A and B are shown apart, each in its own frame.
Chain A
Amino acid sequence: MTKRNQNKLKRIHIFLIVLLICFLFSTTFIYCKLNLSKPILVKTMDYDFQIKENVGFVLDSDILHFGGAPKNSELKRNMTLTTPFTSKVKIYFEGPGILSTSHNNFLLDENQSKSIEFILKTPTLENGNYTGKIIFEFYKP
Chain B
Amino acid sequence: MRQNLITLILVLIIISLNIIIFSSLIKTNQPTGQVLNMTGDAEVRLEVSRILAISLIQSTINFGTCSANLTKGYSILDSNQTINQVDNSDCILGTFPDYLIVSNTGTVNANVTIKVDQTPLVFFNDLASSFAYATMNYSLDSGCNGELQNTYYTLTTANTNHVACSRLYPSNEFNLSMKANVSTNASGGGYLSITFTGTEAD
Residues of A within 8 A of B (CB): 9, 13, 16-17, 20, 23-24, 27, 31, 34-35, 38, 40-45, 50, 53-70, 72-85, 115, 136, 138
Apart from A54-B103, A80-B49, A81-B45, list 20 A-B contacts with CB within 8 A: A13-B3, A13-B4, A20-B10, A27-B21, A31-B25, A35-B25, A54-B102, A55-B103, A56-B105, A59-B50, A63-B48, A70-B60, A76-B54, A77-B48, A78-B51, A79-B47, A79-B49, A84-B39, A84-B40, A84-B43
Question: What are the residues of chain B within 8 A of A23 when measuring CB–CB?
Answer: 14, 18
Nearest B residue (CB) for A76: B53
CB <8 Å contact, B39 and A85: yes
- With A70-B56, A84-B40 known as contacts, the answer to whether A54 contacts B46 (CB < 8 A) is no
CB <8 Å contact, A57 and B198: yes
CB <8 Å contact, A65 and B21: no
Cα A75 to Cα B25 in complex, Å, equals 41
Interface string of B17-54 (1 = CB under 8 A from A): 01001100100110111011101110111111111111
Residues of B within 8 A of A (CB): 3-4, 7, 10-11, 14, 18, 21-22, 25, 28-29, 31-33, 35-37, 39-41, 43-60, 97, 100-108, 110, 112, 168, 196, 198-200
Cα A76 to Cα B57 in complex, Å, equals 13
Cα A14 to Cα B95 in complex, Å, equals 88
- With A40-B37, A44-B33, A58-B106 known as contacts, the answer to whether A83 contacts B43 (CB < 8 A) is yes
What's the least CB distance linking B195 to chain A, in Å? 8
Nearest A residue (CB) for B50: A59
Most buried by A among B37, B106, B198: B106
Nearest B residue (CB) for A10: B3
What's the least CB distance linking A54 to chain B, in Å? 4
Question: Looking at the complex, which one of B37, B58, B105 makes contact with A72 (CB distance below 8 Å)?
Answer: B58
Question: What are the residues of chain B within 8 A of A13 when measuring CB–CB?
Answer: 3-4, 7
Nearest B residue (CB) for A47: B48
CB <8 Å contact, B14 and A61: no
Question: What are the residues of chain A within 8 A of B196 when measuring CB–CB?
Answer: 55, 57
Cα A69 to Cα B102 in complex, Å, equals 9
Question: Looking at the complex, which one of A43, A53, A57 makes contact with B33 (CB distance below 8 Å)?
Answer: A43
Question: What are the residues of chain B within 8 A of A136 when measuring CB–CB?
Answer: 46
CB <8 Å contact, B44 and A76: no
Question: What are the residues of chain A within 8 A of B44 when measuring CB–CB?
Answer: 41, 43, 81-84, 138
CB <8 Å contact, A42 and B32: yes
- With A9-B4, A27-B18, A44-B33 known as contacts, the answer to whether A61 contacts B47 (CB < 8 A) is yes
CB <8 Å contact, A56 and B103: yes
Cα A109 to Cα B198 in complex, Å, equals 31
Question: What are the residues of chain A within 8 A of B55 when measuring CB–CB?
Answer: 73-76
Question: What are the residues of chain B within 8 A of A31 when measuring CB–CB?
Answer: 21, 25
Nearest A residue (CB) for B106: A58
CB <8 Å contact, A77 and B49: yes
Cα A30 to Cα B48 in complex, Å, equals 39
CB <8 Å contact, B49 and A78: yes
